[in-house]
Amino acid sequence: MFAVTVSVYRSAADWMRMGIPKLTIFVLTMLALTAYGCAASTPTMSVSAVPPSRALASANSTLFATEEPTILTSTPTRESALDPTKENTVVASATLAATQTLTVTATPSPTKPPRLPLRDDLPPLTLQDFPRPPDDNGLGMHFLAGGYYDEAELDKQIARLNELHIKWATVVYTDENHLEIAARKFSEAGIYVVWRKALRPYQRYSSWGRDIAIIQKYGLPPYMQLYNEPELPAEWDDKPEDINLYFANLLAAAKDVYNAGGYPGIQFLDPDNLRRFIDEIYARQGEALFKRMFFIPHAYGLNHPPNYQEDENGALGFRLFATIFFKRLGFVPPFIVGEGGWKVASAEDNRFPPVSEELHRDYTLAVYDWFRTGKLSHGGALPDYLFAFNMWMLAGGDEAGAWYDAFNGDRALTIAAVKNLPLFTRKFSWDK
């Protein structure tokens, strides 16, 4: 610390001999030393800086005022996204003293993960480049809950889809034999499918290439959903929920599907898991995957009307994930809602009436009408990235939301109304 002692006891003659100019200099010097002494006594400051990617990951970037994200922020650097599970924090300690020294202490950087080995001969795709079915109308349906079916069952259920004018479906399959039959049947019907292999988050799968070859043999695009709802305990079969194990399996699956020429479909319920997925891909220099992947939101309405936008618990809830993609990547990949819609008797929010048969019909028609009118239920424009909305679900005796064969009867009003919808082809911005 700097200390100065000056005697101010001088005689009048001394002050006179110094003269006015010298006196002025002396006073200014004293004031400067006093100010410096105050600064030198300031306590030590500790500053913690969080990297941009981590700060962004901690923010809940919910956007419901408009249907499209409007603010583009720069994408995170690979260095700032090395390991989203750790705080890459730089701590600086500054002590203001007479020597004006600054001490900086930095925590060690985490080890970079290995590069994601992606083939380099696949072109990046725009929204317009992704395949869509002939006479695409955006109307979709989740098929059956399980992946076991024979040809007779497939014929019965696909005939129902055709009567409903369905062009997209989410289909679960268990093995290559069921996949072979289903791919042939759906190809004959002209319905494009999001294929979901029956997998748990703790399971690694190594036959993506074979499955994609089967799908391509029948002229269908290989839209592959990699896992389903990893945040739910039911998906873990009473095993410990190991999210790190899940991400290791997910990254391996995404790499295998990409390299086999398929389209990796990512599905999350928790926005933070999407943020981590993006960080993991950046850290492994796998950005090429972003241009050939798609996202599968689940957009259940509970008992909220179709124009509900207070939070993500509604048919419009997919926009939260679109905002994250836009802010982190600068664009939004294709979205195909894999599950969504309403179940009769749902009454989660007491501000709104329970879902009756009439409301189930009206709410479902309102969403399907997005693709005919180009307008979402809150009045915003239908975004190009939303390819389809697959309602839960076509048929199932144990499924409360099933339209056919449910324990609480068929959704007769909804079925009749959807069958009577006028035929149309969905229009994108590049079609106008």
Integer Cα distance of 212 and 221 in angstroms = 9
- The tens digit of pLDDT for each residue in 111-160 reads 889 999 999 999 999 999 999 999 999 999 999 999 999 999 999 999 99
3-class DSSP state of 284: coil
pLDDT confidence of 400, banded at 50, 70, 90?
Answer: confident
- In the sheet with 45-49, reading across from the earlier edge strand, the strands are 45-49, 90-94, 102-106
Give residue 53's pLDDT. 33
Give residue 432's pLDDT. 74
pLDDT at residue 68 above 80? no
- Same-domain status, 146 and 276: yes
Give residue 111's pLDDT. 85
* Region of poorest pLDDT, from 24-38, 168-182, 277-291: 24-38
Burial 282-320 (b: 16+ CB within 10 A, else e): bbbebbbbbebbbbbbbbbbbbbbbebbeebbbbbbbbb
Q: What is the mean pLDDT of the chain?
A: 82
Q: CB neighbours (10 Å) of residue 41?
A: 10
pLDDT at residue 386 above 70? yes
pLDDT at residue 6 above 60? no
Residue 88 in any domain: the answer is no
pLDDT at residue 327 above 90? yes
pLDDT confidence of 408, banded at 50, 70, 90?
Answer: very high
pLDDT confidence of 107, banded at 50, 70, 90?
Answer: low
- Same-domain status, 323 and 175: yes
Mean pLDDT of 403-424: 97
Both tokens assigned to 186: 């759906």
Residue 72 in any domain: the answer is no
- Same-domain status, 358 and 213: yes
Q: What percent of the chain has pLDDT over 70?
A: 75
Domain that holds residue 13: 1-41
Integer Cα distance of 24 and 27 in angstroms = 5
* Region of poorest pLDDT, from 29-33, 130-134, 324-328, 360-364: 29-33
pLDDT at residue 300 above 60? yes
Read off the DSSP letter of residue 231: T
Q: What percent of the chain has pLDDT over 90?
A: 73
- Same-domain status, 35 and 171: no
C-alpha separations of 37 from 40, 42, 102, 176 in Å: 5, 9, 18, 80
Give residue 105's pLDDT. 54
Mean pLDDT of 327-348: 98
Integer Cα distance of 326 and 331 in angstroms = 5
- 289 vs 50: which has the higher pLDDT: 289
- Same-domain status, 208 and 313: yes
| R_g of the chain, CA atoms, integer Å | 31
CB 199 within 8 A of CB 211: no
Integer Cα distance of 17 and 412 in angstroms = 110
Integer Cα distance of 113 and 84 in angstroms = 12
CATH code of 134's domain: 3.20.20.80
* Region of poorest pLDDT, from 59-73, 360-374, 382-396, 402-416: 59-73
- 157 vs 13: which has the higher pLDDT: 157
Q: CB neighbours (10 Å) of residue 177?
A: 10
Give residue 109's pLDDT. 63
User: What is the separation of C-alpha 200 from the centre of its chain, rounded to a whole number of angstroms?
Assistant: 20
Burial 190-201 (b: 16+ CB within 10 A, else e): ebbbbbbbebeb
- The tens digit of pLDDT for each residue in 157-204 reads 999 999 999 999 999 999 999 999 999 999 999 999 999 999 999 999
Residue 94 in any domain: the answer is no
pLDDT confidence of 398, banded at 50, 70, 90?
Answer: confident
* Region of poorest pLDDT, from 37-46, 176-185, 190-199, 318-327: 37-46
CB 326 within 8 A of CB 69: yes
Mean pLDDT of 302-312: 97
Looking at the structure of the chain, the number of domains it has is 2
- Same-domain status, 151 and 286: yes
Residue 118 in any domain: the answer is no
Both tokens assigned to 179: 């996949």
pLDDT at residue 78 above 50? no
Residue 100 in any domain: the answer is no
Type of residue found at 398:
D
Mean pLDDT of 37-46: 36
pLDDT at residue 362 above 60? yes
Secondary structure element (H or E) that encloses residue 225, with its range: strand 223-225
Read off the DSSP letter of residue 380: P
Give residue 13's pLDDT. 37
- The tens digit of pLDDT for each residue in 200-226 reads 999 999 999 999 999 999 999 999 999
Residue 205 in any domain: the answer is yes
- Same-domain status, 162 and 259: yes
- Same-domain status, 148 and 21: no
Residue 101 in any domain: the answer is no
- Same-domain status, 355 and 209: yes
Residue 191 in any domain: the answer is yes
CB within 8 A of 56, min separation 6: which ones?
A: 73, 76, 275, 327, 328
Type of residue found at 178:
H
* Helices and strands counted in the chain (H then E): 10, 13
Mean pLDDT of 376-401: 96
> The pTM is what?
0.77
